[in-house]
Structure 1
């Protein structure tokens, strides 16, 4: 087949929406060689081999460094497939940015005098056609994502005409709003400065994870946050916090290229209350950054009184902090002391002298001396319940203001 006839065949395949697999098969039939098309990470999009070649498909292949280092130009070398060392010829897919690779694999019985690069014009034509197909598919994904984001936005802002309308639209996206739901807001944080381009991939992985693990979930994006509306399986109703923590831990391991944190709103039976769960999840996310001791999700209903401080001005919070425990901060600064952290551990650990002493690696008498000093500086007894409440609240405020780390 000459090049003109081949190009007409490629154009016909695109007109008939045969996609990347169809283009790959046409090239394989023409050159009688294995053809593999991957994305830029080596995930296989299409794999076609002539009947005479026993090369079984893989979901992902390890791209040789020669491919990744020679970006934008054809390359050749040795690749390992199912433990076999085979020669490859590769054409990058994409222009300004590489979005995939087209590989021709030399059959083992072919002699070294075989010149697959003679088929370069055919491979180049297919790589251009595949680029168009991939970009088209990405456009479709973007359009679907925009519609889904809009539906999620309407849900969390109660922007709908009635429950029946929500249920109808929910079925389109595979959602069932008949049971209890909660909202989780997830923030993705870069581990390195060059990973911003993979944010869409991480977002899609989050969506795929929840759809597979919790059928009926829907994920949307708002202001660079992933908003997850999740139904609660009935069998998890008695321990939904730990169920959610386990979900998030599994998700974190899947998108390990990113650091992720999350806030979780309350569980509600009615979809009319999803807007409240969303607002709570946002508050939990922001406060969780300040008062959480690990990367587990922050639950609004576990934040306690600290959430009351969220909408207070920084000046008001600072004044409350200084009034309650300012003298301790001053003493620590002037004497290189640790009264604030001693007090924090003492109150958080139920005022158990022995346990607190062990955690702080000090003698019990040393702890008692510090507590006496704290009472002297504050002019109040730690045995007084209201005093302890105000001090504990002030320590939470200190964490919100970044004055102390609650280790």
Structure 2
């Protein structure tokens, strides 16, 4: 027989629908007489959280105790805080009671009624469902902007995403975890991203995508000239550093951010590809936990602004004989050359990293000189080879070329 909901449960759920979490918090506050914080599964504060307040992102997160694990509640004597878990999976929430002496824990746990827990659980369950629905649409949006034919993009987007302006430039940012097996929940983080940037006066469309997050920023103009405001880009990048640090603190992992340049919607895939190139190339330089811009990559900005076929031809004309030789003889000439250049021509360090003898490194470099007909002692040769390798590796890792393609298979422009 179906159980009838109590009058208290009805009152709380009705109050939740009309007034939100503050209604539930007020109900609990009257019963337990202690400050209350309500967060989601990763510690993002949902109460107190006044709309439009000037709190920064780091003010919106609470450090949840790792010792709690799967327990229903945990008391932290150091901070005099009680953590009560409600719900499960990504819809999990935490009711946190502050300034609570340990002898009062059992009394407070008893005072938190099941109807209030149900209301909190209902709130976060619906929040998760809404997030899933928005995520699905935003992923479709990204597919049409970056991966599908641009011919009908106006017809597709106009009826369903009215906020996008087709003649306005946009900028794409890409955020990725530095470790492959990352625990970052990008779907949840995308909703926090929008919340954070809205608070500081920046518009953004955040989308979780393939273990990363894409941010689409509408351009801000200078009022006097109607040109893209350079201070706007600086503001976005400076906040990128702050956001990177907060994500790292919440998940205990480092992340990196790369920015493309501004384009209109029908060319926005260029900004996305620029962000991918900036991300990949900076990683190839051995860096982590960085914030970088495609426009600030020096000579590589110029190179990767060229037609990709031109870049492929440059890389293959420079390295093609090495690629062919390594493939035919199962050797590692290119890997050795790459390591040597990355290690500032330090033969001993290169040998140690490759676990080979220094003489072997020297022999391989002489073979490189022979195959490519170059003098490795000149700065011109070293710079040219360094650039060619970075271009080749970036094209491969971003999927713009095929690793198996060698000089003999490449068709000239």
TM-score range, shorter chain: 0.5 to 0.7
1:355-370 equivalences in 2 (<5 Å):
none
Normalization by structure 2: what TM-score?
0.59
For the structure 1 residues 238 and 342, does the alpha-carbon distance in structure 2 shift closer, same or farther, using more than 3 Å as the test? Answer: same
267, 271, 289: which is aligned to 2:283? 289
119, 134, 153: which is aligned to 2:124? 134
Displacement of 1:297 in angstroms is 2.7
The residue that corresponds to 1:125 in the other structure is 115
Matched-pair contact (CA < 8 Å) for 1:245–1:296: yes
Q: Which sections of structure 2, spanning at least 5 residues, go unmatched?
A: 49-58, 223-227, 351-362, 398-413
171, 176, 179: which is aligned to 1:182? 171
Q: In the aligned structure 1, how far is the partner of 2:341 from the partner of 2:60?
A: 54
Q: In the aligned structure 1, how far is the partner of 2:97 from the partner of 2:339?
A: 67
Displacement of 1:211 in angstroms is 3.9
156, 159, 165: which is aligned to 2:158? 165
Matched-pair contact (CA < 8 Å) for 1:182–1:265: yes
1:335-350 equivalences in 2 (<5 Å):
341=340
Q: In the aligned structure 2, how far is the partner of 1:8 from the partner of 1:324?
A: 78
The residue that corresponds to 1:367 in the other structure is none
Structure with the greater alpha carbon radius of gyration = 1
Q: In the aligned structure 1, how far is the partner of 2:187 from the partner of 2:281?
A: 26
Q: In the aligned structure 1, how far is the partner of 2:273 from the partner of 2:368?
A: 39
For the structure 1 residues 258 and 396, does the alpha-carbon distance in structure 2 shift closer, same or farther, using more than 3 Å as the test? Answer: same
Q: In the aligned structure 2, how far is the partner of 1:212 from the partner of 1:199?
A: 20
Structure having greater relative contact order (Cα 8 Å, sep ≥ 6): 2
For the structure 1 residues 245 and 116, does the alpha-carbon distance in structure 2 shift closer, same or farther, using more than 3 Å as the test? Answer: closer
Normalization by structure 1: what TM-score?
0.60
Q: In the aligned structure 1, how far is the partner of 2:84 from the partner of 2:139?
A: 36
266, 271, 281: which is aligned to 2:265? 271
Displacement of 1:199 in angstroms is 3.4
Q: In the aligned structure 2, how far is the partner of 1:104 from the partner of 1:343?
A: 53
Displacement of 1:306 in angstroms is 6.2
For the structure 1 residues 70 and 98, does the alpha-carbon distance in structure 2 shift closer, same or farther, using more than 3 Å as the test? Answer: farther
Considering only aligned residues, what root-mean-square deviation do their CA atoms show, in Å? 5.7
Q: In the aligned structure 2, how far is the partner of 1:271 from the partner of 1:92?
A: 43
The residue that corresponds to 1:25 in the other structure is 26
Q: In the aligned structure 1, how far is the partner of 2:32 from the partner of 2:287?
A: 59
For the structure 1 residues 10 and 20, does the alpha-carbon distance in structure 2 shift closer, same or farther, using more than 3 Å as the test? Answer: farther
Matched-pair contact (CA < 8 Å) for 1:186–1:262: yes
The residue that corresponds to 1:396 in the other structure is 390
Displacement of 1:323 in angstroms is 2.6
For the structure 1 residues 203 and 75, does the alpha-carbon distance in structure 2 shift closer, same or farther, using more than 3 Å as the test? Answer: closer
The residue that corresponds to 1:199 in the other structure is 186
The residue that corresponds to 2:255 in the other structure is 260
The residue that corresponds to 2:11 in the other structure is 12
